[in-house]
Amino acid sequence: MEERMVPLVAYFSIGGAVRRTAEMISAVMGADIIALDPESEWIEDPSIKYDTIVVGFPMVMFKEPEVVDRFLGACALIGKTICPFYVSGSIGNEGHVMPGIRRSARGAAIMPVKGFVNDTPLEDVEAWTKAIEAFRAQEFS
């Protein structure tokens, strides 16, 4: 079987909730991890080394923060898989997230956005990483 590339977990976190969940996801998946810095420009395309990018962010005014759109827009994503997740106090109000992600991540296969509540239990992370694996298997078969 062809060896899979290591995934990347790229996250933006203000208060630490998204960072904690991103770290759990990265540990479970054996993925590389980077924090997105709203002040930085992406001069090198961060997607070159990765076929799958997990992108995490806090829900802010029912949308993804702008830094997420800028990050995705800076990546060449044709043939890549994007797995978006957010963390917030309550889940299920993500109606405005997917259109923005789809606009920014043109050419990518995009999983439906996953919502985690604060203090994400490990079981939830493990269940979602299994869903990612199933999605990747489908994309790369």
Ligand X SMILES: Cc1cc2nc3c(=O)[nH]c(=O)nc-3n(C[C@H](O)[C@H](O)[C@H](O)COP(=O)(O)O)c2cc1C
By CB under 6 A, name the binding residues for ligand X.
13-19, 58-62, 87-90, 93, 118
Query: Which tokens is 47 given?
Result: 């997607």
Least distance between ligand X and beta carbon 21 (Å): 8
**CB of 50 vs ligand X, minimal distance in Å:** 22
Query: Which residue minimizes CB distance to ligand X?
Result: 15
Instruction: Quote the strand ranges of 6-123, DSSP E.
Output: 8-11, 32-35, 52-58, 81-88, 109-110, 114-117
Q: Are 45 and 75 in contact (CB under 8 A)?
A: yes
Instruction: Kindly tell me which of 14 and 137 has the beta carbon lying closer to ligand X.
Output: 14
Cα distances (angstroms) measured from residue 141 to each of 11, 19, 37:
27, 31, 34
Q: Are 47 and 3 in contact (CB under 8 A)?
A: no
Contact 116, 86 (CB under 8 A): yes
Closer Cβ to ligand X, 44 or 95, answer by number: 95
* Comparison of 4 and 62: residue with beta carbon closer to ligand X: 62
Nearer of residues 24 and 77 to ligand X, judged by Cβ: 24
- Give CA separation, 119 vs 19, 23, 58, in Å: 11, 12, 13
Q: How far is the CB of 68 from ligand X (least distance, A)?
A: 12
The nearest distance, CB 38 to ligand X, in angstroms, is: 12
Which residue, 24 or 108, is less far from ligand X as judged by CB? 24
Q: How far is the CB of 132 from ligand X (least distance, A)?
A: 20
